[in-house]
Amino acid sequence: MSDVATPAGPRPSLLHHTDFLKIWTAATISLFGSQVSAIAIPTIAINTLNVSPFEAALLGFFEMLPFILFTLPAGVWVDRLRRRPILIAGDLGRAVALATIPIAFAAGSLTVLQLYVVAFATGILTVFFDVADQSYLPSLVSAGQLIEANAKLQVSQSAAQVGGQGVGGAIIGLVSAPFAVIVDSVSFLASAALIFLVRRPEPGPERPVVAEGARGPGMRSEIGDGLRYVGGHPLLRSIAACTGTSNFFSSLMFSILFVYLYRVVELSPLTVGLVFGLGNIGFLVGAGMSSRIPGRIGLGRTILLAAVVGGVAPSLIAVAPENSAAIPFLLVAGVLAGWAQVVYNVNQVSLRQAITPARMQGRMNATMRFIVWGTMPPGLIIGGVLGSNLGLHETIWIGAIGGLFAFLPILFSQVVGLREIPPIEAETTAAADTAANAGMADAPEPRTPAEIEGERGSWPGPGPAPDS
């Protein structure tokens, strides 16, 4: 990778970075717990509450709706506030929300409406947590360590998805799905405690310079800055288009996938958990390769390759037979999707973080998340409608075919020509010029590598591939 913004000489491994290890451990624990809920909550809706395919799709819709409603304001607040307290509050809030599910079940009052409310509440907290999380990392590690840091975090996600879903299926079999959710609630408490123990001082938020007596920019103005920054940046807008397209069609398919596997293929929760867990070995393989592939074929081609493979993977679910013989197809689909997701995310997220000024990190990440996850609620609703009226297998085919073309925005963009992360000066200057031409008042200033160095210190199974 490029040595821009990196001091001369070998960089110390992040294994010796105490505060990063706390963040990494916190992420590992919470990701593992979330994989248990990813199996348990749909199982509660489908098998315990016996909901329809459309009602099952609404569960994902309410979880993803906050990414349309709150992501852009979250980006502004993340840039105005310190990020670590936001992370702690997000973990504690999700722990409380999830704990209401087993409590209501034990009291005999659990309904699908409560699941929707919990999904919406945890979705709001996840919006703020994720935007703050991606914006906090560049202040914790140096710019030259971002790819290593993101790769290690993806290893955790990979391990969690391999082990968490299989364990989740087993826990459901032992104590029932509602009580399995307790594991996720406790994992968020542990994560919050570890983040609280981080001791590296976090730089205060950068304040815009305004004339004496004048009011600073308002919420709408700062949201607009983020939208113009991403929309005016040729690399960011191409990545957003690719990821958003993939997430739309993957969500369309995933909205009815559990219903399809339980009611058509007739797999048990334990089998589904084991299939997804074993299929997610692709995450581990991808995490080990994600930082090495760009050195062989270039950064842009690595991102393109991952987008192509991620688009092909869901096709294997569509062509699988409608009986237990579908298991090998699901396994291979999971391996390919997991590999593609990790390789894509490590490289495109690192690229985004490295080329964006610190004071724009929150708004950039929020705008990207608004675009690429904002396509998911419509995909979930459309998938639920199609699954209820057209058929479950037919809906999976529509999602698989549409996802095949998600790589096109990368193919026809400047991203594909990148050999490595471009110099920060060139990228921020280009973004500033584009934004200025569009009337952006708060365009990012070009900065030197030394300045940057100084200030920088799911979905289960073969679901949506590229995240953001």
| Cα–chain center distance at 85 | 20
For residue 412, the tally of other CB atoms under 10 A from its CB is 11
Q: Which amino acid would we find at residue 435?
A: A
**Would 23 be classed as within a structural domain?**
yes
**Would 190 be classed as within a structural domain?**
yes
**Would 316 be classed as within a structural domain?**
yes
CA distance 27 to 20: 10
Cα–Cα nearest to 45, from 321, 384, 461: 384
Three-state helix/strand/coil letters over 129-178:
HHHHHHHHHHHHCCHHHHHHHHHHHHHHHHHHHHHHHHHHHHHHHHHCHH
Cα–Cα nearest to 157, from 455, 464, 402, 459: 459
pLDDT of amino acid 411: 96
The number of distinct structural domains making up the chain is 1
**Would 212 be classed as within a structural domain?**
no
Are 275 and 327 spatial neighbours (Cβ–Cβ below 8 Å)? yes
**Would 440 be classed as within a structural domain?**
yes
- The two tokens of residue 456 are 């920088």
User: Which residues touch 213 (CB under 8 Å, ≥6 apart)?
Assistant: none
pLDDT of amino acid 204: 65
For residue 26, the tally of other CB atoms under 10 A from its CB is 26
Collapsing DSSP to helix, strand or coil, 200 comes out as coil
- The two tokens of residue 436 are 């200025």
**Would 213 be classed as within a structural domain?**
no
- The two tokens of residue 250 are 């993957």
Domain assignment of residue 92, given as a range: 14-201+219-456
**Would 8 be classed as within a structural domain?**
no
CA of 288: how far to CAs of 157, 158, 302, in Å? 12, 10, 14
pLDDT of amino acid 319: 93
pLDDT of amino acid 422: 77
CATH of the domain at 172: 1.20.1250.20
N-to-C CA span, the chain: 20
pLDDT of amino acid 112: 94
Are 33 and 165 spatial neighbours (Cβ–Cβ below 8 Å)? no
**Would 339 be classed as within a structural domain?**
yes
Per-residue pLDDT of the chain (468 residues; tens, 9 = 90+): 333 334 444 566 788 788 888 988 898 888 888 888 888 999 999 989 998 889 988 998 999 899 888 888 888 887 787 888 889 999 999 999 999 999 999 999 999 999 999 999 999 999 888 888 877 887 787 777 777 887 788 777 767 766 777 777 788 878 888 899 999 999 999 999 999 998 887 766 665 555 455 455 677 888 888 899 999 999 999 999 999 999 999 999 989 998 999 888 888 888 887 888 787 788 778 878 888 899 899 999 999 999 999 999 999 999 998 888 899 999 999 999 989 998 999 899 889 888 888 778 878 888 898 899 889 889 999 999 999 999 999 999 999 999 999 999 999 999 999 988 776 544 444 444 444 344 333 333 333 222 222 222 233 443 334 454
pLDDT of amino acid 3: 37
